[in-house]
C-alpha cells in the first residue's frame, strides 16, 4: 500500500450518475406544451462530465483483497477510530476507541464506489467515524480501513462478507438434530486455508449419540492437524476447552442453523443471554434465531462473532484449479500425477486417485473435493 496521498481516478456504480438522456419526451408532449427554447439542440457523447462513472478521490490505493480499492483521506482530528459491532440495513453499530458506542450511517461516497461486495461495511471492520457533534452517539462512517482477512461467500454473484479481521474460525456442526454435514465443514476449512484463519472444528450435541461413532471423522481431521472439539452445550461437556480457545482471540462462529452456536456461546460465557430456538421436527433444520453477525466482547479478553445459520456456503474467489491446494491431504500426492494440470477426477494416471484406492486418502474427503471442484466449475 502506498504511503503518499494522491488524487485517484476510480469507478463508481451506475446509480452515481444521472440518466444520460431524458426519456420522458412523450409524457411531456402529451401532458403539457414543450418549451422549445429549453430543448438542447445537440449533445456530446464523450467520456466526460455526467456521462462517465469515474471520479477523483483523494486518498491512497489499496490491494483488492483489503476491501475497497481506495482508502479515502479524512481529517483524523474530526474522526474517532472504532470497530463495527454489527450491521443492520443502512445502520451500523460501532464501538469507538474512545469507549463510546455510535449508531452510524455510511458515507454515500463509500457506498457508491464500484465493488463486487454486497455491502461495503461488515462486522469486524475498522472504521473512522465522524460524530454528528460533540457528545453525540450518532455519526457517519467516513473511511473503512483495509482488512487483514475476511470470511466471505458468494451471494447472487457478489461477495457477501460475513465478518472481517478475525483470528479464528470455529466451525460448528451437530452430531444430531440436525445431522452432521462434513462437506459443509470442508468448505469452511477451505475458506479458512485461503484467508489464513485458524480453524477449530466443533461438533456439538455429542450427548445425543454414542461419541465413538464420530471417531472416523474426528480422526481424519485430527491427522490433518485441525483442532477438533467434541462438545455438548446441554451437559457442559468440552465447554471449558472451548472457553480456553476463545480467550484473547477474535473468533467467528459459523455453521448451519440449529447446530447450537448461540447455545455454546451462552455456556462458554455465562450471563450472555443469546436467544436460542428449537429445531423443526419435520425438516430437522434450525429456525434462524440469529439474524445478523454481531461482535460480542468476552470477559476473559477477545471477542466472538455470532453469525446467522448458513445452509449453503458457496465459495468466493476460488477457481477450480486451486481447490486441491487448499485440501491438506491432497497436497502430498498432486505433484506425483503424470500431468501437471491434472484435475484428479477423470485422468487415468493420477496419484490422488491411486492414494484413494490404496486407502492412503480418505474416500469421503476425496468425494468432497470432487463436489467442490465440479460444483464451482459449473
pLDDT tens profile 139-172: 999 999 999 999 999 988 899 999 999 999 999 9
**pLDDT exceeds cutoff 70 at 107:** yes
Helix, strand, coil percentages in the chain from 3-state DSSP, rounded to 5: 30, 25, 45
pTM, entire model: 0.83
The model's pLDDT over 324-338, given as tens digits with 9 standing for 90+, comes to: 999 999 999 999 999
Q: What is the pLDDT of residue 50?
A: 46
Question: If you average pLDDT over residues 305-313, what whole number do you get?
Answer: 83
Question: If you average pLDDT over residues 67-86, what whole number do you get?
Answer: 90
How does the average pLDDT of the chain come out, rounded? 85
42: number of CA atoms within 13 Å, CB side? 2
Which of the residue ranges 50-59, 77-86, 274-283, 292-301 would you say has the lowest mean pLDDT?
Answer: 274-283
Question: If you average pLDDT over residues 69-98, what whole number do you get?
Answer: 91
Which of the residue ranges 9-13, 265-269, 316-320 would you say has the lowest mean pLDDT?
Answer: 9-13
Cβ neighbourhood burial of 146 (10 Å; 0-12, 13-18, 19+): middle
Q: What is the pLDDT of residue 286?
A: 46
Question: If you average pLDDT over residues 167-179, what whole number do you get?
Answer: 93
**pLDDT exceeds cutoff 80 at 289:** no
12: number of CA atoms within 13 Å, CB side? 20
Strands 126-131 and 138-144: antiparallel
**pLDDT exceeds cutoff 50 at 346:** yes
67-71, 291-295, 345-349: which is most confident:
345-349
229/207 Cα distance (integer angstroms): 13
The model's pLDDT over 21-34, given as tens digits with 9 standing for 90+, comes to: 566 667 666 666 66
The model's pLDDT over 214-255, given as tens digits with 9 standing for 90+, comes to: 999 999 999 999 999 999 999 999 999 999 999 999 999 999
**pLDDT-based confidence at residue 283 (cuts at 50, 70, 90):** very low
Question: If you average pLDDT over residues 189-198, what whole number do you get?
Answer: 95
Angle at 370 between CA 368 and CA 372, to 5 degrees: 70
Question: If you average pLDDT over residues 44-52, what whole number do you get?
Answer: 51
**pLDDT exceeds cutoff 60 at 296:** yes
Q: What is the pLDDT of residue 66?
A: 78
Cα-based distances in Å from 106 to 110, 295, 307: 7, 19, 22
* Torsion angle in degrees (nearest 10) through CA of 53, 56, 61, 63: -10
Q: What is the pLDDT of residue 378?
A: 43
Percent of the chain with pLDDT strictly greater than 70:
84
Q: What spatial distance separates the first Cα and last Cα of the chain, rounded to whole Å?
A: 35
Q: What is the pLDDT of residue 11?
A: 80
**pLDDT-based confidence at residue 65 (cuts at 50, 70, 90):** confident
Q: What is the pLDDT of residue 192?
A: 96
Q: What is the pLDDT of residue 40?
A: 62
Residue 9, φ and ψ in degrees, nearest 5 = -85, 120
273/305 Cα distance (integer angstroms): 14
The domains of the chain, with CATH numbers, are 64-147 (2.40.50.140), 165-306 (3.40.50.300), 320-377 (1.10.40.50)
Q: What is the pLDDT of residue 273?
A: 78
Percent of the chain with pLDDT strictly greater than 90:
57
Q: What is the pLDDT of residue 105?
A: 95
352/19 Cα distance (integer angstroms): 55
**pLDDT-based confidence at residue 284 (cuts at 50, 70, 90):** very low
Between these two residues, 99 and 51, which has the higher pLDDT value?
A: 99
Q: What is the pLDDT of residue 32?
A: 64
**pLDDT-based confidence at residue 270 (cuts at 50, 70, 90):** confident
Amino acid at each position: 500500500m502506498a504511503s503518499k496521498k494522491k488524487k485517484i481516478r476510480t469507478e463508481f456504480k451506475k446509480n452515481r450518475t444521472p440518466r444520460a438522456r431524458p426519456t420522458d419526451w412523450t409524457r411531456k408532449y402529451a401532458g403539457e406544451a414543450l418549451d422549445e427554447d429549453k430543448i438542447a439542440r445537440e449533445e456530446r457523447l464523450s467520456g466526460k462530465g455526467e456521462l462517465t462513472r469515474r471520479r477523483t478521490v483523494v486518498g491512497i490505493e489499496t490491494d483488492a483483497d483489503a476491501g475497497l480499492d481506495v482508502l479515502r483521506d479524512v481529517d483524523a482530528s474530526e474522526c474517532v477510530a472504532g470497530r463495527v459491532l454489527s450491521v443492520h440495513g443502512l445502520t451500523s453499530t460501532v464501538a469507538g476507541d474512545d469507549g463510546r458506542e455510535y449508531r452510524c450511517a455510511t458515507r454515500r461516497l463509500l457506498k457508491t464506489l464500484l465493488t463486487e461486495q454486497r455491502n461495503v461495511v461488515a462486522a469486524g471492520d475498522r472504521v473512522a467515524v465522524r460524530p454528528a457533534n460533540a457528545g453525540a452517539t450518532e455519526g457517519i462512517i467516513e473511511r473503512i480501513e483495509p482488512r487483514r482477512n475476511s470470511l466471505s461467500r458468494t451471494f447472487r454473484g457478489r461477495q457477501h462478507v460475513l465478518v472481517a479481521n478475525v483470528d479464528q474460525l470455529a466451525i460448528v456442526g451437530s452430531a444430531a438434530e440436525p445431522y452432521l454435514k462434513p462437506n459443509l465443514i470442508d468448505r469452511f476449512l477451505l475458506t479458512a486455508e485461503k484467508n489464513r484463519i485458524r480453524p477449530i472444528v466443533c461438533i456439538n450435541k455429542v450427548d445425543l449419540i454414542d461419541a465413538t461413532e464420530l471417531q472416523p471423522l474426528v480422526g481424519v481431521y485430527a491427522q490433518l492437524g485441525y483442532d477438533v472439539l467434541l462438545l455438548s452445550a446441554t451437559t457442559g461437556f468440552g465447554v471449558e476447552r472451548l472457553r480456553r480457545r476463545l480467550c484473547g482471540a477474535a473468533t467467528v462462529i459459523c455453521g448451519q442453523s440449529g447446530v447450537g452456536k448461540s447455545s455454546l456461546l451462552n455456556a462458554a460465557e455465562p450471563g450472555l443471554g443469546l436467544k436460542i430456538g428449537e429445531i423443526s421436527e419435520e425438516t430437522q433444520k434450525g429456525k434462524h434465531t440469529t439474524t445478523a453477525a454481531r461482535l460480542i466482547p468476552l470477559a476473559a479478553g477477545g471477542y466472538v462473532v455470532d453469525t446467522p445459520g448458513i445452509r449453503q456456503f458457496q465459495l468466493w474467489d476460488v477457481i477450480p484449479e486451486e481447490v486441491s491446494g487448499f485440501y491438506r491431504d491432497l497436497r502430498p500426492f498432486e505433484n506425483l500425477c503424470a500431468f501437471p494440470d491434472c484435475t484428479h477426477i477423470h485422468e487415468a494416471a493420477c496419484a490422488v486417485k491411486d492414494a484413494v484406492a490404496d486407502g492412503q486418502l480418505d474416500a469421503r474427503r476425496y468425494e468432497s473435493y470432487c463436489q467442490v471442484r465440479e460444483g464451482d466449475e459449473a
